[in-house]
Amino acid sequence: MTPVRGGRAAPHRETAGRDMSMRSSRRELRRIGVGLLFASPWLVGFLALTVYPSLASLYYSFNSFNTLQAPTWVGFDNFSTLFLNDPLFWTAVKNTLYMTLVGVPVNIVLSLALALLLNQNRRGVTVYRAMIYAPVVVPPVVTSIIWVWILNPENGLLDQVLGFLHLPQPGWFTDPSWSKPALLILLTWGLGQTMVILLAGLQDVPQHLYEAAMIDGASQARRFWHVTLPMLSPVIFYNVVVGVIFSLQLFTQAFVTAGGGLCYGGSGNCLGAPLNSTLLYGIYLYQNAFAYFKMGYASAMAWLLFAVTVIATLLLFRFTRGLVHYEGAAR
Amino acid sequence: MLSRQRITHVLTGLLLVAIILLSSTGASYRRPARSVVNLVMWQQWGGGHEKATLDKYIALFNRTHPTIHVTEIPVTDNTKIVAAISGGHPPDLMDLGDTHTIGEWAHSGLLQPLDNYIKSSGMDMKAFVPAGWNAVTFQGKHWGVPFMNFNIALVYNRTEFQQAGITRPPRTLEELDQDAAKLTIVKNGRIVRMGYIPDSSGGNGLEYYAWLFGGDWFKGNKSTAADPANVQALTWETTYYKKYGASNVTRFMSGFGQYLTAADGFESGKMAMIFDGWWTAFFAKENGVKFSIGAAPFPPPAAHPERANTSYLDTNPQVIPTGSPHPQEAFEFIKWETTNPQLCSEYAALIANLPHLKTAPPNPLFKDPNFQVFLALSNSPNAHTTPKTPISSQFATNLSNAEQSALLGKATPQQALTALQQTTQQELDSAH
């Protein structure tokens, strides 16, 4: 054990004093170099595949660029066209806001309800938890295709059930006024993710708070309102933030279900089908970039989305300040 | 110790065997000699008999041309094509499924004009059906060589016609509407069969009906989308959706399987008439469909007999992308493939496409009265070509959305097409 160390330490002592400071700084540099070398697999990837493309897209957002010819500087033209001259942009914004403002609350409320149900100590509760979580493990493309089939208005499973019960049978993904609700149903299928995090939060609520509330004579509803919700608020808040970011970037499910398979494997004409009702921000960005090859325009959209996401997150932090209670936080 | 040595021996032995096996499989491929140029061709044919036919002729070329070796790869995704060319890794040549993208791709520099190759190779352009060249021309230059032309007509289920007591295909648009009504079956408020749905098959719709009504889409750099004739065409389309209810029609169509399979609208017998190519009959036969299939020119409005035989003619353009590693050899293959009359005739018969050469010798298929309908249409003075513009993919999307919004009753045909004209003009102006 010691001989090795001693052997290495000896030369240091010999030269000590001559150029101590230079040596130590060189040593420091070497250590940094070794550190960087070890971090390089990630570092190279980060610089080449994240930093460079991000900065390049920022540059392209001020250019007209079709990937083949050299980009030409257009200043803020892309942004002004988006805001003033592109009705489809606003359609995409509206659709995305719908998905966010309706989708996130629905997801949180349903997940919370499920988490409360599954937080009880009943027999087989773990099986139910696994069942609710299972759809999360299925790749989103598969889930989407299955829901296209289930919601097929001509011969889908749900259509037949609704027909049997003499209920209205909407056109779901093929009807512009039902396509977004259909998309929400499909997304609700994957709420296991949120549910599991809320469940973990619920199990973290200290029992003594409930006991104290019970001794004070609080009803079940009051215990939920005054103990469970405040204790759970950081977890709910986290899920709201993540949900908003996810909704603003929603792509896969809308891409696969567009038109309800009316144009399966078809051309780019089906993006946002029917009638641009599922033309979400991400879909329209993709369409501009990879169907029309307006890379500058698409880059401008991407940076706008980034800015909106940051602002939305900051606003969420600001307006929920009084609502979120962190245990042990200074008041 | 001994066992470890043994294991090492066994492993070394296995490794040797693996090396021998791998190298021998490598050698079993006909490895081209050193001086051979390898050409990669991206192609967009359908699977089944279409790909088999292409492979057959590529093998023939490779056998007869010892210095060039062509390999085809199916690439139907246009996004991938554009990404590859702009990324500097294009194939040597491409065999595109239609000429819709030619204008846009030529405009953005993805393709090479072929005029110099055509001239220096002494290719006889006059041997080709002239309309084929029109389809590959954009701004005065040829961006592809026509190969296997195709067009569409009224393809109908003769068995269902007979059951409905209809003895011959319609000769006017009005007759078509009446026949369609007779062939349509609605049970308990649900559509069971439609005689005709104007926007149903293979994506052929408003773009073509406009010509039937005397309209068109572009005049030079001007969009003419809101032309009264186009509005009339779209209005005619909406009558089908109004009569049976837009949501009922879309619901009915959502039950169709994938195009050109036994479950698609026509092959499953759910649509008695479609506006499509004769390849639909070939695929139907391949898929074992029982009913008899007929073809006729799509009928013009009764008041306009001069618009009889309105159709379009398109082709599978053979193109050379910008940055192709071996453009000279690629063109040699294109010339071999496109200028042999015997090959043209056989190829066309195998996939039910139209010969692109005037000199193609007759073939038993060309005597089929149904196929003759298509042959005759390709020579019709009313044969159009799809518009070539720098904004073709955007125009295609916007046209389809305008059509849908009128069919679903979200806008009047006039509103939809006025909006389309405005957007299209805006896009055209910014592209120039």
Give the contacts of B127 (CB within 8 A, at least 6 positions apart).
B339, B341, B357, B358, B359
Contact yes or no for A293 and B108 at CB 8 A:
yes
pLDDT of residue B1: 45
A290 contact residues in B (CB cutoff 8 A): 79, 82-83
B255 contact residues in A (CB cutoff 8 A): 152, 154-155
Q: What is the mean pLDDT of residues B341-354?
A: 90
Distance of residue A51 Cα from the nearest chain B Cα, in angstroms: 20
Nearest CA in chain A to B399: A269
Contact yes or no for B250 and A269 at CB 8 A:
no
B401 contact residues in A (CB cutoff 8 A): 275-276
Computed on alpha carbons and rounded to an integer, the radius of gyration of chain A in Å comes to 27
Q: What is the 3-state secondary structure (H, E, C) of chain B?
A: CHHHHHHHHHHHHHHHHHHHHHHHHHHHCCCCCCCCEEEEEEECCCCCHHHHHHHHHHHHHHHHCCCEEEEEEECCCHHHHHHHHHCCCCCCEEECCCCCCHHHHHHCCCECCCHHHHHHHCCCHHHECHHHHHHCEECCEECCECCCEECCEEEEEHHHHHHCCCCCCCCCHHHHHHHHHHHCEEECCEEEEECCCCCCCCCCCHHHHHHHCCCCCEECCEECCCCHHHHHHHHHHHHHHHHHCHHHHHHHHCCCCCCCCCCCCCCCCCECEEEECCHHHHHHHHCCCCCCEEEECCCCCCCCHHHCCCEECECCCEECECCCCCHHHHHHHHHHHHHCHHHHHHHHHHHCCECCECCCCCCHHHHCHHHHHHHHHHCCCCEECCCCCCCHHHHHHHHHHHHHHHHCCCCCHHHHHHHHHHHHHHHHHHHC
pTM (2 d.p.): 0.84
Of A68, A154, A275, the CB nearest to B86: A68
pLDDT in tens, chain A (331 residues): 444 444 444 445 445 555 666 677 888 999 999 999 999 999 999 999 999 999 999 999 999 998 878 899 999 999 999 999 899 999 999 999 999 999 999 999 999 999 999 998 888 899 999 999 999 999 998 999 999 999 998 888 998 899 889 888 888 988 899 999 999 999 999 899 999 999 999 999 999 999 999 999 989 899 999 999 999 999 999 999 999 999 999 999 998 888 776 554 444 467 888 889 999 999 999 999 988 889 999 999 999 999 999 999 999 999 888 888 887 654 4
Asked if residue B6 has pLDDT above 70, the reply is: no
Contact yes or no for B397 and A291 at CB 8 A:
yes
Contact yes or no for A175 and B82 at CB 8 A:
no
**Interface with A, mutate which of B76, B80, B251, B426 (most A CBs under 10 A):** B251
Tell me the residues of chain A between 175 and 204 that have a Cβ less than 8 Å away from chain B. 175-176
Query: Is the predicted ipTM greater than 0.85, yes or no?
Result: no
Nearest CA in chain B to A153: B251
Of A265, A267, A271, the CB nearest to B258: A265
Contact yes or no for B322 and A292 at CB 8 A:
no
Tell me the residues of chain A between 24 and 83 that have a Cβ less than 8 Å away from chain B. 66-69
> Domains along chain B?
37-150+314-384 (3.40.190.10), 153-312+391-431 (3.40.190.10)
Contact yes or no for A171 and B250 at CB 8 A:
yes
**Residue pairs spanning A and B at CB distance below 8 A:** 82
B254 contact residues in A (CB cutoff 8 A): 152-154, 171, 174, 260-262
For chain A, the domains span: 2-60, 77-319
Over chain B, what is the mean pLDDT?
Answer: 89
pLDDT of residue B7: 63
Structure-model confidence comparison of residues B350 and A1, the more confident one: B350
A68 contact residues in B (CB cutoff 8 A): 82, 85-86, 108-110, 322
A260 contact residues in B (CB cutoff 8 A): 254
Contact yes or no for A266 and B203 at CB 8 A:
yes
Tell me the residues of chain A between 274 and 293 that have a Cβ less than 8 Å away from chain B. 274-276, 287, 290-293
CATH C-level class of A77-319: mainly alpha
pLDDT band at B325 (very low <50, low <70, confident <90, very high): very high
Please name every residue paired with B93 in a beta bridge, in sequence order, or none if there are none: B41
Q: Flag whether residue A267 sits within 8 Å of chain B, measured between CB atoms.
A: yes
B108 contact residues in A (CB cutoff 8 A): 66, 68-69, 293
pLDDT of residue A95: 97
Of B86, B254, B396, the CB nearest to A67: B86
Of A66, A154, A287, the CB nearest to B254: A154
Percentage of residues of chain B with pLDDT beyond 90: 69
Q: What is the mean pLDDT of residues B143-148?
A: 96
Of A264, A265, A291, the CB nearest to B393: A291
Distance of residue A136 Cα from the nearest chain B Cα, in angstroms: 27
B252 contact residues in A (CB cutoff 8 A): 154
Contact yes or no for A275 and B405 at CB 8 A:
yes
**Interface with B, mutate which of A269, A278, A285 (most B CBs under 10 A):** A269
B404 contact residues in A (CB cutoff 8 A): 273-275
B87 contact residues in A (CB cutoff 8 A): 67
Of B353, B413, B58, the C-alpha closest to B228 is: B413
pLDDT of residue B34: 59
Which run of H or E residues covers position B155? strand B153-157
